[in-house]
Amino acid sequence: MNIYSKKQRWKLLLAGAAILIIVASLWYTNILVKKIATEERKKVKLWAEAIQNKASLVNYTGGLFQKISAEERNKIELWAEANKRIATSDNRNDLTFYLNILERNTTIPVIIIDENGNITNSRNFDFKEGIDTTQFLKNQLLLMKKSDNDPIDLVYHISGYTLRQKLYYKDSKIFSELRNVLDDLIQSFISEIVINSASVPVIYTDSSQTNIIEYGNLEGGKTGIGQDFLEATIADMREQNEPIAVTINNQAVNYIFYKDSKLLQQLKYYPYFQFLIIGLFLLISYYLFSTSRKVEQNQVWVGMAKETAHQLGTPLSSLMAWVEYLKLKDVVDENTISELSKDITRLEIITERFSKIGSAPKLELENLNTVVNDSLAYLKVRISKKVNITFRTQSNAEIYAKLNPSLFSWVLENLIKNAVDAMKGEGNIDIYVTDQSQFVYIDITDSGSGIPRTKHKTIFEPGFTTKQRGWGLGLSLVKRIIENYHAGKIFVKQSDATGTIFRIVLNK
């Protein structure tokens, strides 16, 4: 089995294992997230139910206080009636009864004024020592007039004479304290809405659902939040949950808008975040391993090329000396000496090529027509006569590109030899050069059997070969010379059953 087929199979197995790990991890994480989300929603539901129960308790307490307020009003009205009756009754028994009623009012502060506004009577006030009682009562009267308690008219008919007075009162001390408790309870209720143990973002509005009374647990805290943001948040909350309607102290209906806690919102996106992290980890790992592998390949390439150049140096020097010796002895004909010199020159070129691997070659603006023609002149006499090679340019004009002639000739030789092998020593090879504004395109077309699409990139990998005795280094060397040393590109432009087109892209 080809090494790259094994490599591809291992890649698929590792990719499958990675996918299984990701799927299993996401599946398990999703289960945990759902469990936590369920617990969070339970907290939110319990919080909502507690809010509704607390609202019912507040309403019940408010209703109870209203009943107490009504009872105090009834007591004052009874006290006022007794006050009128005692002034007009002649019956001693009735008088005693009314006096008992008057005396039983020991909690509700009362002030009676005449038609001119003068205070005529007062009851149930705690006068401290050293204060002006008259001024104190006047101040209390002003407070009573501003309160919600309506005054009671007192009309006396005595011996044909009508006396008109008004009775003002305020809540008893006990009831006032209870009312303060109710106010604290309402304020505590609002605070529990805003600062809740479930950390639920909440907005408390009036009956219009637009005027915001209080809010809490929103991003940004209490500062830097505008009205537009709050209105948009209300719309978002309305989509998630039905608002809780609450009536506090039997007044207008208010509404509590809420949505999932910040933790729950983060948990929704956690699996995707985890998938992103795992994906990034795999990509980085693959990149690092790939880079490490390429570095190792480069070291092997450079080491092999330098060692080859070094090994060729010694026998090449010896051959050059032997050729000079044969020339002096004049024992070999000139044609033999000429052919030996050509082969030695060829070996020098090969040694030079290998010595340049691993070092940055000098690129100059060269005549591409000359470089290609020189390479073809060398190859045509060394390949099958049944192979027809043609070279054409876009406009039959000279085309220049930045290249190293020695290394670029090596590229052409490898591509043409591979094409000859693909055509089994018989067919056509066409080299066509296109001059663009910034680049030069060299298309090398053969009439071979083609390359499968799945192998278009693999053929450039070291060790890949379709030959029984091949090393699989030719195209890998071509790619390295074009891309690493010439900063160009080489790829399979097109391949089918009628042949293959390799394209080389060079900078001008």
Residue 357 DSSP code: T
| pLDDT, tens digit only, all 508 positions of the chain | 455 566 667 777 877 887 888 788 778 877 877 787 677 667 666 666 666 666 676 676 667 777 777 777 777 777 777 776 666 655 555 545 545 555 666 677 888 888 888 888 887 887 777 788 888 888 888 888 888 778 888 776 666 677 788 888 887 777 777 777 766 766 666 666 555 555 678 887 888 888 887 777 777 655 556 778 888 888 888 888 888 787 765 667 888 888 777 777 777 777 778 778 877 887 888 788 777 777 776 666 666 666 676 667 777 778 888 878 777 777 777 788 787 887 787 787 777 767 766 666 788 889 999 999 988 988 888 788 899 999 998 877 788 999 988 889 889 988 998 899 888 889 999 999 998 888 999 999 999 888 888 888 888 877 666 665 555 567 888 898 899 888 899 999 999 888 999 999 998 8
Phi, psi of 40, rounded to the nearest 5 degrees: -65, -45
Q: What is the pLDDT of residue 269?
A: 76
User: Which whole-number Å values give the CA distances from 418 to 198, 411, 476, 479, in the listed order?
Assistant: 73, 11, 12, 14
Q: What is the pLDDT of residue 13?
A: 83
User: Residue ranges of the domains in the chain?
Assistant: 110-170, 185-261, 361-507
Sheet containing strand 161-169, edge to edge, reads: 119-123, 110-113, 161-169, 152-158
CB-CB contact of 433 with 393 (8 Å): yes
CB-CB contact of 463 with 7 (8 Å): no
| H or E element, residue 262 | helix 262-329
The three-class DSSP label of residue 241 is coil
Taking only Cα atoms into account, the Rg of the chain, rounded to an integer number of angstroms, comes to: 52
Which spans in 330-428 are helix H?
A: 334-356, 368-380, 405-422
CATH number of 361-507: 3.30.565.10
Residue 359 has a CB neighbour count (10 Å cut-off) of 11
Q: What does the alpha-carbon distance between residue 133 and residue 123 come to, in Å, rounded to a whole number? A: 12
Supply 167's token pair.
């009775």
Q: What is the pLDDT of residue 97?
A: 54
In sequence order, the 6+-apart residues with CB closer than 8 A to the CB of 298 are: 358
Q: What is the pLDDT of residue 255?
A: 84
Q: What is the pLDDT of residue 440?
A: 93
Place of tokens 């395109």: 441
Within 145-302, strands assigned E span 152-158, 161-169, 202-205, 212-216, 244-247, 253-258
Residue 378 has a CB neighbour count (10 Å cut-off) of 15
Q: What does the alpha-carbon distance between residue 149 and residue 153 come to, in Å, rounded to a whole number? A: 13
Partners of residue 245 on adjacent β-strands: 255
Q: Read off the pTM.
A: 0.46
Q: What does the alpha-carbon distance between residue 233 and residue 219 come to, in Å, rounded to a whole number? A: 10
User: Which whole-number Å values give the CA distances from 326 to 322, 340, 373, in the listed order?
Assistant: 6, 11, 32
